[in-house]
């Protein structure tokens, strides 16, 4: 059987890893795929770098469109990134009848509905295992391994940069700025780390995961996104004392029978989260990724591994290429759907606004250490129907406020509607004895 001919667009970190791993494990991959998979053409603006990588084994050009146009190319691997040129190239490849493999989560989170529709129209596949959690095969697990399950919720650490920063803050007791600088020094964070630390990268991935889990269109614009830039070392330390770890989690949940939504809704949110320290996911440290999936039949499953890097991500890219080699003769109507559900069976579930999400909370209030403060705070929570799970008061610090010292009060609540908590916080913040902005971090048990 003739080899699968691949056009590689982008010879950066992941592109290089893909070429190297494919060359190194060529025989093993051929035996698994049933035919050879060969990168025959590479397009990269840095042709000198691409030529050094190819070493004569592939033709190199700076013109990506010329690679797409070549009739012998069966699959286009897009590893350029971004949502501009990459979108145009992917749509051109689809229009030319080429299968596409991509690691571009931003592209699919924003333009996935358009791209998957175009692929269905042309009868080709868009494979994207590498777009979420690097080398962890979470897409395949959701689309195929858990296909018998009604997925209830997914919670994941799917950005290694932020997990490294939070791990450093906890282990070394340093602040966010110091931990970020260390991440940049070691190459875990970019010079401009905004996409990572603001939660955007994780939200792109969560958007794809939610679509596959619940059979809904990708809808990144409706995700609630909150990063880690405002986290303080004090809160990480307090969480530890209370038996929790703080992680940036991407969470998507199914919510049934919500008032005013006959079809239910889904939650789609990324934010710092308190997780009980006894949970496995709370002990995922450094730049590693982990994803928890709750299915009605299988229960809770955990997927753990490297979420980025040249060869871990290349592993996922090549797995998609092997799938395409196996599917080359399959009828388009009998392939695994891009988003797991048949296109005509997708649901029109709305994304729940954050104010309607139900969760529990960690609150830290800096207050004047005077009589009646705690009673007033707990009274406000009670007035808004919010019950307290635990409370911690730190020893008073010197710093007079009308003759009184300051102290930190930490409150853990039971589950409540977010909008209710927002109103309670506004009432507490207005008290003259509350001396600083109240810190609010959501809490999930994940049991």
Residue 281 contacts residue 155 (beta carbons within 8 Å): yes
Residue 132 contacts residue 138 (beta carbons within 8 Å): yes
Enumerate the H helices of 345-396 as residue ranges.
373-383
State yes or no: is 98 an active-site residue: no
Q: Which residue has the tokens 């930490």?
A: 410
In angstroms, the CA 43 to CA 131 distance is: 20
Number of DSSP helices (H) and strands (E) in the chain, helices first: 15, 19
In angstroms, the CA 41 to CA 57 distance is: 9
Structure tokens at 130: 């590498």
Structure tokens at 339: 């988003």
State how far Cα 433 lies from the chain centre: 39
Residue 9 contacts residue 78 (beta carbons within 8 Å): yes
Q: Is 443 exposed, middle or buried (0-12, 13-18, 19+ CB in 10 A)?
A: buried
Write the CB contacts of 14 (distance below 8 Å, at least 6 apart in sequence): 79, 103, 130, 310, 313, 314, 317
The region that residue 386 occupies, defined by phi over 0 for left and psi between -120 and 50 for alpha, beta otherwise, is beta
Looking at 98, 105, 205, 253, which residue is catalytic?
Answer: 205
Beta strands in 21-73 (DSSP E): 37-43, 59-61
In angstroms, the CA 327 to CA 331 distance is: 8
Q: Could you give the C-alpha distances from 359 to 87, 136, 198, 349, in angstroms and in order?
A: 37, 28, 21, 20
Enumerate the H helices of 123-264 as residue ranges.
138-140, 160-172, 176-185, 194-197, 200-214, 233-241
**Which residues are catalytic, by number?**
205
């Amino acid at each position: 059987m003739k080899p699968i001919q691949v056009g590689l667009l982008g010879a950066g970190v992941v592109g290089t890893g893909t070429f190297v791993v494919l060359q190194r494990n060529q025989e093993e991959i051929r035996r698994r795929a049933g035919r050879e998979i060969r990168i025959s053409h590479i397009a990269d603006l840095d042709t000198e770098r691409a030529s050094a990588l190819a070493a004569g084994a592939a033709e190199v050009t700076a013109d990506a469109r010329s690679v797409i146009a070549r009739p012998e190319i069966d699959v286009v691997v897009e590893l350029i990134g971004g949502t501009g040129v990459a979108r145009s190239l992917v749509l051109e490849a689809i229009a030319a009848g080429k299968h596409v493999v991509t690691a571009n989560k931003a592209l699919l989170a924003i333009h996935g509905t358009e791209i998957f529709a175009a692929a269905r129209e042309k009868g080709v596949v868009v494979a994207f295992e590498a777009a979420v959690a690097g080398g962890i095969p979470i897409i395949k697990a959701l689309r195929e391994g858990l296909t018998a399950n009604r997925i209830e919720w997914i919670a994941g650490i799917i950005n290694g940069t932020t997990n490294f920063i939070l791990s450093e803050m906890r282990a070394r007791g340093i602040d966010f700025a110091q931990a970020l600088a260390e991440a940049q020094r070691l190459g875990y964070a970019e010079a401009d780390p905004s996409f990572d630390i603001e939660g955007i990268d994780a939200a792109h991935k969560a958007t794809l995961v939610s679509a596959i889990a619940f059979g809904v269109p990708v809808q990144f614009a409706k995700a609630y996104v909150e990063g880690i830039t405002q986290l303080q070392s004090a809160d990480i330390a307090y969480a530890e004392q209370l038996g929790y770890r703080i992680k940036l989690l991407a969470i998507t949940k199914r919510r049934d029978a919500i008032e005013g939504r006959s079809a239910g809704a889904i939650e789609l949110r990324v934010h710092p989260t308190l997780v009980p320290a006894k949970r496995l996911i709370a002990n995922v440290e450094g730049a590693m990724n982990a994803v928890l999936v709750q299915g009605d039949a299988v229960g809770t499953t955990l997927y753990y591994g490297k979420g980025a890097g040249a060869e871990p991500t290349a592993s996922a890219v090549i797995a998609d290429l092997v799938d395409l080699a196996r599917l080359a003769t399959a009828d388009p109507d009998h392939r695994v759907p891009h988003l797991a559900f048949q296109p005509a069976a997708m649901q029109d579930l709305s994304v729940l606004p954050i104010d309607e999400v139900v969760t529990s909370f960690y609150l830290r209030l800096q207050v004047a250490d005077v009589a009646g403060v705690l009673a007033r705070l707990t009274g406000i929570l009670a007035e808004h129907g919010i019950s307290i799970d635990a409370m911690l008061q730190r020893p008073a610090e010197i710093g007079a406020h009308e003759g009184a010292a300051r102290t930190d009060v930490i409150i853990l609540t039971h589950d409540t509607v977010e909008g209710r908590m927002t109103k309670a916080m506004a009432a507490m913040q207005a008290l003259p004895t509350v001396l600083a902005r109240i810190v609010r971090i959501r809490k999930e048990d994940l049991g």
